[in-house]
Structure 1
Amino acid sequence: MNFSQIKDSATNILSGNETKSFKLQAICDLLKSEISYYDWVGFYFKNGTNQELKLAEFAGEPTEHTIIPFGKGICGQVAVSNQNFVVQDVSAQDNYISCGWKVKSEIVIPIFVNEENIGQIDIDSHTVNPFTENDEALLEFICKKVAEIL
């Protein structure tokens, strides 16, 4: 896995003429296929004026968590804190929404447009302790690029 090549691929995807939905799905597919421990990749966005997130595009097993209230779970906490949240072992988290017994860790990075947190990228892994600073930097890069098309 070469994070530099993934960044280049993501930039190419996001600069194309396809729809926003197509581009977001392509980013999910790219990350899931290129990074072995990214077992679920999805975007959540603020649901209108509601204090909740709504699932948009994703790659991986379907989830029942299509709506997440602000403050609930890792995604909901990021919607409130506006900070990255890296959870190397979900069993150690009190405020965690289980997406399945296979999920062992999660990383969530917010997306900002005009300094407002409008959504996030959410990655689940079936591996404990897989995420590094490189993952965080890659996902921050992708979120900045995604913000440019929103």
Structure 2
Amino acid sequence: MKLNNLKNNCSDILENKELNLNDKLLEICNLLKREIAYYDWVGFYFKNGDKDELILGPYAGAPTDHTIIPFGKGICGQVAVSNKNFVVDDVSAQDNYISCNFNVKSEIVIPLFVNGKNIGQIDIDSNTLNAFGKEDEIFLEWLNHEISKQYNN
């Protein structure tokens, strides 16, 4: 399924009044993992209160030991500090990469802003080298923007 075709599905999940935000995010993780062949792990990390660390939120894929990630550590920790998208074509070329699964070859992390503040991120791992392109980045930015609206309701 093309990424743009998933926008309606994601919007339907986010508009579902019967689900709380955590359940909506879990449904989105499951949808993306199921519909995009190269999305092998899809999850959210969020700032852990006042601590300079991320805590694992809803995800779809293999369980991970990385439930807490300090700011600056790994790709997710770097995005928490830089506030910028991070696309990794080959994780083995990254010095500051935290391996969650030896099958992972590439990763994309897009920060989630609410009222201009980075509160977390969507993290996607792929078992394929060079898996993520500009289309993924644009789609995930759109998705995080739509998710951010949930915090203002």
TM-score, normalised by the number of residues in structure 2: 0.97
Counterpart of 1:75 in 2: which secondary structure?
helix
SS at match of 2:150: coil
Instruction: Name segments (4+ residues, structure 1) moved above 3 Å.
Output: none
Q: Equivalent residue for 1:142?
A: 143
Which residue does 2:61 correspond to in 1? 60
* 3-state secondary structure, aligned to 1:102: coil
State the distance in 1 between where 2:102 and 2:75 align: 16
Tell me what 1:51 maps to: 52
Aligned pairs for 1:8-87 within 5 A: 8-17=8-17, 18-87=19-88
Match status 1:115 vs 2:116: yes
**Alignment map for 1:123-138 (pairs within 5 Å):** 123-138=124-139
Unpaired runs of 5+ residues, structure 2, are: none
Please report how far the alpha carbon of residue 43 of structure 1 lies from its aligned counterpart in structure 2 after TM superposition. 0.3
Deviation by residue 1:107-150 (Cα, 9 ceiling, x = unmatched)? 00000001000000000000000111000011001100111112
Identical columns (%): 61
One-letter identity of the residue aligned with 1:44: Y
Say which is worse superposed, 54-63 or 5-14, in terms of deviation. 5-14
| One-letter code aligned to 2:135 | N
Secondary structure in structure 2 of the residue aligned to 1:149: helix
CA distance in 1, matches of 2:91, 2:3: 25
CA drift of 1:3 comes to: 1.6
**Which TM-score applies when normalising by structure 1?**
0.98
Which letter maps to 1:2?
A: K
Q: Partner amino acid for 1:115? A: G
| SS, match of residue 4 in structure 2 | helix
Distance 2:118 2:131 in 1: 26
Gap regions ≥5 residues in structure 1: none
Paired positions, count: 150
Aligned with 1:108: secondary structure? Answer: strand
Equivalence for 1:2: 2
For 1:101 and 1:43, how far apart are their aligned partners in 2? Answer: 20
- Cα displacement string for residues 67-125 of structure 1 (whole angstroms, at most 9, x for unaligned residues): 00000000000000000000010000000000111000000000000100000000000
Distance 1:23 1:78 in 2: 23
Q: CA RMSD for the aligned pairs?
A: 0.6
Describe the SS at the equivalent of 2:142.
helix
